[in-house]
DNA sequence: GACGTTTTAGACAATGGCGTCTAGTTTTAC
DNA sequence: GTAAAACTAGACGCCATTGTCTAAAACGTC
């Protein structure tokens, strides 16, 4: 149903257990919980979507709540791995900064924020956040928290190189993310998935504004910031 | 329970009906629907919160769904009136633009986005959006849609005066809103309400960045943009 | 103070979901 | 090939909820 590739599951997270059925259940449950919310989701529907008998679900998860928690943890693990991967692709090179940041923003939106898992988590956090505070506090830390922290550090390095001029790195990081989402927020809220073209346009708008605000201004000779930085 | 002032209700929206009880029911239902979602909310709980018998609810609203729709429409009416009022306070004067925009951003966050009604609507849109597409399409248009359109026009006027330098007004409008929310998004998502101090700081960060990107640059004499604009 | 309307409290049937149980079947492992 | 484990289908009790109904009480108005 989803995009779960190998039956062996991913790296070494939680319990990957008796693969096939278990994964099928997790995916189906994620789907149904996301559409109907915790209260609205019925075990029978999850079983039907997973092509599994109800008893099998209860064999793996003691009760509805156990399943719910497992689903959220599973999706969070995938999302964290993805976020790590995307953060690793942050452009280090100062030359062609605009293109580098734009592609980074595209990847961030496409794989972490507008993608299935990202929408799932945000939706569930908002829906059931009060009921499971600890689960969602950990989401907050590992998701948006980690993103801001990491991005802040990455921006600081660029600022240190002299490519960017930033007074408050945390604020700049949050603003980068906010700008990157500005044009897509509404689509994402409604469950629509942006096309590659829309992703690119949104990222370009965001980075242009971000660099107008934080980019190193052209020096007196009128050289663009990258060259000016290289020239010292 | 909420902040509904006069028993006569607001201006001339929908049916304000047999005031007292009806409003009490609407407020209670909004509260419970927001916390539990449509499926999780029980009529009995709503009745208890409203200090009303269950039958009274059924006297006013044929069934649960009717009540839900009425609640959403009621909140949307309040929110629209508030948005209109906030938009009317957009700073027209070019002098002290930074302060003017900052105060505007504070009002926008405080009264339209981070407030009770704003959070309620965003949450319900995300939770039950698929079930009631028409209701939430109208939210999209009257809420974020109207905000972007109006803000875009207001920014265009400032640009026309030469105070701002903007190529795409719609994009700039969305970015303004996104920046204004950047620091508060996470709190709002979790139901916390920002303090006045936090509101002010967030708005100040947002406007500073917005003006760095779109503000008219100081002229050769080094005069700040406002004076430069006046001096022609 | 009497009448019509509104509200109340609670009983009520019907529905549907959760979680358990059982008996039979399939799959896996050795 | 056989034994153990996992899975299936369906029945079952239990409980919460919806929406209806009724008889009594409160309310407001004339």
How does DSSP assign B124-165, residue by residue? HHHHHTTT-HHHHHHHHIIIIIHHHHHHHHHHHHHHHHTSB-
Nucleic strand D within 7 A of Cβ B53: no
How large is the ipTM?
Answer: 0.86
**Site from B120, B178, B212, B216 to mutate, A interface, most A CB atoms within 10 angstroms:** B178
Q: Which element (helix H / strand E) includes A151?
A: helix A146-161
Residue A97 has pLDDT above 50, yes or no: yes
Q: How far apart (Å, rounded) are the C-alpha atoms in residues B203 and A176?
A: 16
Of B residues 21-50, those with CB within 7 angstroms of nucleic strand D are 41-45
Nucleic strand D within 7 A of Cβ A18: yes
**Site from B145, B177, B179 to mutate, A interface, most A CB atoms within 10 angstroms:** B179
Domains and CATH numbers, chain B: 1-62 (1.10.10.60), 71-231 (1.10.357.10)
Please report the pLDDT score of residue A5 as a whole number. 34
Please report the pLDDT score of residue A15 as a whole number. 45
Please, what is the end-to-end C-alpha distance for chain B in angstroms?
54
**CA closest to B140 among chain A residues:** A186
| Token couple for A20 | 């096939």
Sign of CA dihedral A217, A202, B170, B103: negative
CA-closest candidate to residue A58, choices A109, A21, A104, A101: A21
Residue A167 has pLDDT above 80, yes or no: yes
Q: How far is CA A170 from the centre of its chain?
A: 18
Backbone angles phi, psi at B132, to 5 degrees: -130, 70
Sign of CA dihedral A196, B181, A146, A187: negative
Distance in Å, alpha carbon of B17 to nearest chain A alpha carbon: 31
Nucleotides of C under 7 A from a protein CB: 6-11, 16-22
Q: Count CB-CB contacts under 10 A for residue A217.
A: 11
Which residues make beta-bridge pairs with A164? A215
Residue A9 has pLDDT above 80, yes or no: no
Please report the pLDDT score of residue B232 as a whole number. 40
Which residues, including other chains, have CB under 8 Å from residue B183's CB and lie 6 or more apart? A171, A174, B198, B201, B202, B205, B206
Which residues, including other chains, have CB under 8 Å from residue A77's CB and lie 6 or more apart? A10, A13, A14
Please report the pLDDT score of residue B130 as a whole number. 87
Q: Are B183 and A171 inside 8 Å of each other by CB?
A: yes
Distance in Å, alpha carbon of B13 to nearest chain A alpha carbon: 27
Give the residue carrying structure tokens 């945390």: A170
**Residue B94 near residue B155, CB atoms below 8 Å:** no
**Residue B27 near residue B1, CB atoms below 8 Å:** yes
Q: What is the DSSP code (8-state) at residue A217?
A: P
Of B residues 22-61, those with CB within 7 angstroms of nucleic strand C are 51-56, 59-60
Please report the pLDDT score of residue B210 as a whole number. 98
Q: Are A40 and B40 inside 8 Å of each other by CB?
A: yes
The number of C-beta contacts closer than 8 angstroms across A and B is: 103
Residue closest to sugar C1' of C6 by CA: B56
Cα-only R_g, chain B: 21
* pLDDT band for position A224 (cuts 50, 70, 90): low
Residue A62 has pLDDT above 70, yes or no: yes
Distance in Å, alpha carbon of B24 to nearest chain A alpha carbon: 24
CA-closest candidate to residue A117, choices A154, A148, A150, A85: A85
Q: Are B40 and A36 inside 8 Å of each other by CB?
A: no
**Residue A172 near residue A214, CB atoms below 8 Å:** yes
**Residue B173 near residue B208, CB atoms below 8 Å:** no
- Long-range (24+ apart) CB contacts under 8 A made by A151-160 are A151/A87, A151/A90, A151/A176, A151/A177, A154/A87, A154/A90, A155/A214, A157/A92, A158/A94, A158/A97
Q: Count CB-CB contacts under 10 A for residue B60.
A: 16
Residues in chain A with CB shorter than 8 Å from the CB of B172 are 209
Distance in Å, alpha carbon of A174 to nearest chain B alpha carbon: 6
Residue A11 has pLDDT above 70, yes or no: no
Nucleic strand D within 7 A of Cβ B92: no
Question: Considering only A49-53, A91-95, B9-13, which range has the smallest mean pLDDT?
Answer: B9-13
Q: How far is CA A128 from the centre of its chain?
A: 19
Nucleic strand C within 7 A of Cβ B16: no
Per-residue pLDDT of chain B (232 residues; tens, 9 = 90+): 333 433 333 333 344 444 788 999 999 999 999 999 999 999 999 999 999 999 999 999 999 999 999 999 999 999 999 999 999 999 987 679 999 999 999 999 999 999 999 999 999 988 898 888 898 899 999 999 999 999 999 999 999 999 999 999 999 999 999 999 999 999 988 888 999 999 999 999 999 999 999 998 765 444 454 544 444 4
Please report the pLDDT score of residue A95 as a whole number. 79
Nucleic strand D within 7 A of Cβ B60: no
Please report the pLDDT score of residue B218 as a whole number. 60
Residue A4 has pLDDT above 70, yes or no: no
Nucleic strand D within 7 A of Cβ B58: yes
Query: Which pTM does this prediction carry?
Result: 0.87
Please, what is the end-to-end C-alpha distance for chain A in angstroms?
54
Where are the extended beta strands (E) located within A57-138?
none
Amino acid A21 CA to nucleotide D8 C1' distance, rounded Å: 13
Please report the pLDDT score of residue A193 as a whole number. 93
Half-sphere exposure of B163 (CA within 13 A, CB side): 21
Nucleic strand C within 7 A of Cβ A62: yes
Question: Considering only A54-58, A226-230, B12-16, B46-50, which range has the smallest mean pLDDT?
Answer: B12-16
Q: Count CB-CB contacts under 10 A for residue B26.
A: 24
């Amino acid at each position: 149903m989803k995009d779960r590739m190998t039956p062996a599951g991913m790296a070494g997270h939680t319990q990957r257990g008796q693969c096939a059925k278990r994964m099928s259940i997790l995916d189906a449950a994620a789907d149904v919980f996301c559409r109907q919310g915790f209260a609205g989701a019925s075990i029978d529907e999850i079983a039907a979507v997973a092509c599994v008998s109800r008893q099998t679900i209860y064999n793996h998860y003691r009760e509805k709540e156990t399943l719910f928690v497992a689903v959220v943890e599973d999706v969070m693990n995938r999302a964290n791995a993805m976020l790590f991967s995307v953060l690793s692709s942050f452009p280090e090179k100062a030359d062609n900064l605009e293109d580098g940041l734009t592609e980074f923003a595209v990847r961030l939106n496409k794989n972490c924020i507008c993608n299935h898992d990202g929408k799932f988590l945000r939706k569930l956090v908002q829906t059931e956040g009060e009921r499971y505070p600890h689960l969602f506090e950990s989401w907050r830390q590992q998701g948006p928290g980690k993103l801001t922290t990491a991005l802040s550090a990455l921006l600081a390095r660029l600022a240190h190189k002299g490519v960017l001029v930033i007074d408050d790195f945390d604020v700049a990081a949050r603003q980068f993310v906010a700008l990157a989402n500005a044009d897509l927020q509404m689509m994402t809220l409604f469950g629509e998935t942006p096309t590659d073209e829309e992703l690119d346009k949104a990222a370009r708008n965001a980075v242009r504004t971000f660099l107008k605000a934080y980019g190193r201004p052209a020096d007196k000779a009128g050289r663009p910031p990258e060259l000016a930085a290289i020239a010292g």
